[in-house]
Copies of this chain bind each other. A is one copy, B any other.
Amino acid sequence: MTKTPVGILGATGAVGQRFIQLLADHPWFEVAEVAASDRSAGKSYAEACTWRLPGAPPAAVAKLTVTSIEGSFRSKLLFSGLDSSVAGEAETALSGKGHAVVSNSRNHRMDPDVPLLIPEINADHLDAVAAQKRRTGGGYIVTNPNCSVIGLAMALAPLERAFGLESVVVVTLQALSGAGYPGVASLDIVDNVIPYIGGGEEEKIESEPQKVLGSFSGGGFVPARFPISASVHRVAVVDGHSMAVFVRLTRRASPAEACRILADFHGEPQQRELPTAPRKPIHVLTADDRPQPRLDRDREGGMAVSVGRVREDRQFDLRLEALVHNTIRGAAGVAILNAELLQARGLLK
Complex interface: chain B residues within 8 A of A298 (CB): 54-55
How far does the Cβ of A47 sit from chain B's closest Cβ, in whole Å? 13
Beta-carbon contact of B293 and A192 below 8 Å: yes
Beta-carbon contact of A192 and B233 below 8 Å: no
CA distance A244 to B172 in the complex (A): 10
Q: Which residue of B lies closest to A316 (CB)?
A: B229
Beta-carbon contact of A193 and B231 below 8 Å: no
CA distance A298 to B171 in the complex (A): 25
Beta-carbon contact of B181 and A185 below 8 Å: yes
Complex interface: chain B residues within 8 A of A53 (CB): 295
Which residues of A (216-248) have their CB < 8 Å from a CB of B?
227, 229, 231, 233, 235-238, 242, 244, 246
Contact check: which of B190, B227, B309 meets A189 at CB < 8 Å? B190
Beta-carbon contact of A238 and B195 below 8 Å: no
CA distance A293 to B238 in the complex (A): 13
How far does the Cβ of A146 sit from chain B's closest Cβ, in whole Å? 18
Say if the beta carbon of A319 comes within 8 Å of chain B. Answer: yes
Beta-carbon contact of B187 and A185 below 8 Å: no
Beta-carbon contact of B195 and A321 below 8 Å: yes
Complex interface: chain B residues within 8 A of A54 (CB): 294-298
Which residues of A (182-200) have their CB < 8 Å from a CB of B?
182-196, 198
Complex interface: chain B residues within 8 A of A296 (CB): 54-55
Among the 9-residue stretches A69-77, A156-164, A259-267, A283-291, the one with 4 or more Cβ atoms under 8 Å from chain B is A283-291
Say if the beta carbon of A173 comes within 8 Å of chain B. Answer: yes
Which residues of A (267-283) have their CB < 8 Å from a CB of B?
none
Beta-carbon contact of B308 and A195 below 8 Å: yes
Beta-carbon contact of A229 and B183 below 8 Å: no
Say if the beta carbon of A257 comes within 8 Å of chain B. Answer: no
Beta-carbon contact of A238 and B187 below 8 Å: yes
Q: Which residue of B lies closest to A314 (CB)?
A: B227
Q: Mark A6-34, 1 if CB is under 8 A from B, else 0.
A: 00000000000000000000000000000
Q: Mark A82-123, 1 if CB is under 8 A from B, else 0.
A: 000000000000000000000000000000000000000000
Beta-carbon contact of B195 and A309 below 8 Å: yes
CA distance A97 to B244 in the complex (A): 46
Say if the beta carbon of A313 comes within 8 Å of chain B. Answer: yes
CA distance A290 to B189 in the complex (A): 13
Beta-carbon contact of A289 and B195 below 8 Å: yes
> Given A231-B319, A233-B244, do A186 and B176 touch, yes or no (CB 8 Å)?
yes
Binding site for B on A (CB under 8 A): 52-55, 167, 169, 171, 173, 176-177, 181-196, 198, 206, 227, 229, 231, 233, 235-238, 242, 244, 246, 288-299, 308-309, 313-316, 319, 321
